[in-house]
């Protein structure tokens, strides 16, 4: 799929270099000649957007690290020092702070796009798993980053989340002690979180490289979910995908800058502008918005037989991500795209609504009514992956599919492929 490299070095130096390390050919075949399906819609621009956001977070983060002090009595004021006395410091911090939110928004859209169009199905399972690993790494990085300003929500969020690991039988307490570097969240915790917050983005970059590599082996999925069959189905990455990605990125940047310049604190919690105080618990501890659905699942779990509620909550929370990882094997349908799956399509949107509902429950204070709603939504989340998804593939009759990508774009008469030649093998039920 990545195709034969057609790269021809233009001058003697490039020729000399190419003979010794063919990186020019790699770049050329990956980002210029690389054949992309001609029917990709704007949902496919989020991969490029995410790469950009990772780069932006690393760049702003590196400069912020030059001015930040990872010491529990100085951290809070060092952030204010960045905001006031460092040239452009307020801009760097607001870019980094809102960048995390926008990064997650893009990642969730990217994941949802994969779920809708069946991008996880053979031969893209490893590509999908690498994506889930990136998501997990992003969560760890964002969580530790949120602790660094050492505000009230930083401190108490860290206390609540690190405490969860104590629910793990036998080794739990030891893990928590290692996370804390002591017997409570404190200066050692801040130091190790800072170190890891600096390290993990580069780990993410490494896994992203694998993710892109796997993508270029399997080739991109597309809105029809039909495999690329001839060169008619594709266009070269440059200029076609490049220019489309660029447009998507600029529109995304408009939203990003809207938050950065006009409402930089609206996605955060006011309590995090109060310096951490280990003696004073805030009335309402909530994580950042991108963790809310998981937080809701965590809080929804009751005692289940011999499993205490806390352990059940931790298992359910990590299980929620495990469900995503298992999707390639839970989905029994051979049709990739929801476009041709009349039953899967509504269930997909219900799942999205359930995730938003979980986010809402996670944001609110606990009441008996909300606990019940949270439990119903959590149960539905699991039912979707463990029951609905496997069953749908068995009972669903897919809609008629076009023979090829080019036929779906240009209409039946534009393709040389005989009608029906390729549609049949993909149908089922």
Whether the bond into 338 is cis, omega within 30 of 0: no
Tell me the sheet residues that pair with 151.
Answer: 275
Number of residues in contact with other proteins under rule CB under 8 A: 38
Q: At closest approach, how far in Å is the CB of 197 from other proteins?
A: 22
Q: At closest approach, how far in Å is the CB of 306 from other proteins?
A: 35
Does position 247 interact with other proteins (CB under 8 A)? The reply is: yes
Binders of other proteins among residues 306 to 365 (CB under 8 A) are: 360, 364
- Pairwise CA distance, residues 253 & 264, whole Å: 14
Could you tell me the end-to-end alpha-carbon distance of the chain, in angstroms, rounded to an integer?
Answer: 30
Q: At closest approach, how far in Å is the CB of 375 from other proteins?
A: 17
Does position 412 interact with other proteins (CB under 8 A)? The reply is: no
Does position 229 interact with other proteins (CB under 8 A)? The reply is: no
- Pairwise CA distance, residues 172 & 182, whole Å: 14
Q: At closest approach, how far in Å is the CB of 397 from other proteins?
A: 32
Q: At closest approach, how far in Å is the CB of 85 from other proteins?
A: 8
Select from 38, 192, 43 the least CA-distant residue to 109.
Answer: 43
Among 84, 368, 400, 420, binds other proteins (CB under 8 A): 84
Q: At closest approach, how far in Å is the CB of 239 from other proteins?
A: 5
Among 122, 265, 281, 399, binds other proteins (CB under 8 A): 265
Does position 129 interact with other proteins (CB under 8 A)? The reply is: no
227: left (phi over 0), alpha (psi -120 to 50) or beta: beta
Q: At closest approach, how far in Å is the CB of 106 from other proteins?
A: 17
Per CB under 8 A, the segment of 59-67, 95-103, 182-190, 267-275 that binds other proteins is 267-275
- Pairwise CA distance, residues 340 & 369, whole Å: 38
Does position 171 interact with other proteins (CB under 8 A)? The reply is: no
Cβ-in-10-Å burial (0-12, 13-18, 19+) of 162 comes to buried
Does position 279 interact with other proteins (CB under 8 A)? The reply is: no
Q: At closest approach, how far in Å is the CB of 80 from other proteins?
A: 4
Among 33, 139, 207, 274, binds other proteins (CB under 8 A): 274
Q: What sign has the CA pseudo-torsion 316, 321, 326, 330?
A: positive
The residue among 345 and 370 lying less far from other proteins, judged by its C-beta, is 370
- H helices then E strands: how many in the chain? 17, 2
Strands 234-236 and 35-37: antiparallel
The residue among 32 and 167 lying less far from other proteins, judged by its C-beta, is 32
Does position 227 interact with other proteins (CB under 8 A)? The reply is: no
Report DSSP state, residue 234: E
The residue among 414 and 419 lying less far from other proteins, judged by its C-beta, is 414
Select from 290, 287, 294, 248 the least CA-distant residue to 269.
Answer: 287
The residue among 58 and 257 lying less far from other proteins, judged by its C-beta, is 257
- Pairwise CA distance, residues 77 & 72, whole Å: 10
Q: At closest approach, how far in Å is the CB of 123 from other proteins?
A: 26
Angle of helix 344-363 relative to helix 292-300, nearest 10 degrees?
Answer: 80
Select from 415, 309, 410, 293 the least CA-distant residue to 363.
Answer: 293
The residue among 174 and 230 lying less far from other proteins, judged by its C-beta, is 230
Q: How far is CA 167 from CA 286, 294, 394, in A?
A: 20, 17, 38
Structure tokens at 23: 């990186």
Among 273, 318, 380, 382, binds other proteins (CB under 8 A): 273
Structure tokens at 164: 């969860």
- Pairwise CA distance, residues 317 & 202, whole Å: 25
User: What mask of x and - would describe binding to other proteins in positions 26 to 45, judged by CB under 8 A?
Assistant: ------------x-------
Among 81, 192, 310, 427, binds other proteins (CB under 8 A): 81
Q: At closest approach, how far in Å is the CB of 274 from other proteins?
A: 5
- Pairwise CA distance, residues 358 & 336, whole Å: 27
Does position 283 interact with other proteins (CB under 8 A)? The reply is: yes
Among 33, 43, 59, 83, binds other proteins (CB under 8 A): 83
Does position 264 interact with other proteins (CB under 8 A)? The reply is: yes
Q: Which residues of the shown chain bind other proteins in the complex (CB under 8 A)?
A: 38, 77, 80-81, 83-84, 90-91, 94, 235, 239-240, 243-244, 246-247, 250-251, 253-254, 257-258, 260-266, 270-271, 273-275, 283, 360, 364, 409
């Amino acid at each position: 799929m990545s195709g034969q490299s057609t790269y021809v070095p233009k001058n003697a130096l490039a020729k000399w270099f190419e003979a010794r390390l063919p990186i020019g050919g790699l770049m050329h075949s990956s980002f210029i000649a690389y054949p992309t399906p001609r029917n990709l819609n704007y949902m496919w621009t989020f991969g490029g957007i995410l790469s950009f956001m990772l780069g932006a977070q690393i760049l702003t983060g590196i400069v912020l690290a030059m001015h930040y002090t990872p010491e529990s009595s100085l951290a809070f004021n060092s952030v204010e020092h960045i905001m006031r006395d460092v040239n452009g410091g307020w801009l760097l911090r607001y870019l980094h702070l809102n960048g995390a939110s926008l990064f997650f928004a893009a990642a969730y859209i990217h994941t949802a796009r994969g779920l809708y169009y069946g991008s996880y199905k053979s031969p893209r399972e490893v590509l999908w798993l690498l994506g889930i690993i990136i998501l997990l790494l992003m969560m760890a990085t964002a969580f530790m980053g949120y602790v660094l300003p050492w505000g009230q929500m930083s401190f108490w969020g860290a206390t609540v989340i690190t405490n969860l690991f104590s629910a793990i039988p036998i080794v739990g307490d030891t893990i928590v002690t290692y996370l804390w570097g002591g017997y409570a969240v404190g200066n050692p915790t801040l130091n190790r979180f800072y170190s890891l917050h600096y390290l993990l983005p580069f780990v993410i970059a490494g896994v992203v490289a694998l993710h892109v590599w796997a993508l270029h082996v399997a080739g991109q999925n597309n809105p029809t979910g039909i495999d690329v069959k001839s060169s008619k189905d594709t266009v070269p990455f440059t200029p076609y995908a490049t220019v489309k990605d660029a447009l998507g990125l600029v529109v995304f940047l408009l939203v990003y800058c809207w938050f950065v310049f006009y409402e930089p604190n609206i996605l955060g919690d006011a309590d995090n502008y109060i310096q951490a105080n280990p003696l004073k618990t805030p009335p309402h501890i909530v994580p950042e918005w991108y963790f809310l659905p998981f937080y809701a699942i965590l809080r929804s779990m009751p005692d289940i037989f011999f499993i205490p509620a806390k352990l059940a909550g931790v298992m359910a929370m990590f299980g929620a991500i495990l469900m995503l990882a298992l999707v390639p094997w839970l989905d029994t349908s051979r049709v990739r795209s929801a476009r041709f799956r009349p039953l899967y399509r509504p269930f997909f949107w219900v799942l999205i609504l359930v995730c938003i509902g979980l986010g809402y429950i996670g944001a609110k204070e606990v009441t008996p009514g909300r606990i019940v709603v949270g439990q119903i939504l959590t149960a539905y989340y699991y039912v979707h992956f463990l029951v609905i998804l496997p069953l749908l593939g068995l009972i669903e009759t897919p809609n008629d599919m076009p023979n090829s990508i080019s036929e779906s774009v240009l209409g039946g008469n534009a393709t040389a492929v005989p009608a029906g030649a390729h549609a049949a093998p993909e149908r089922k039920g």
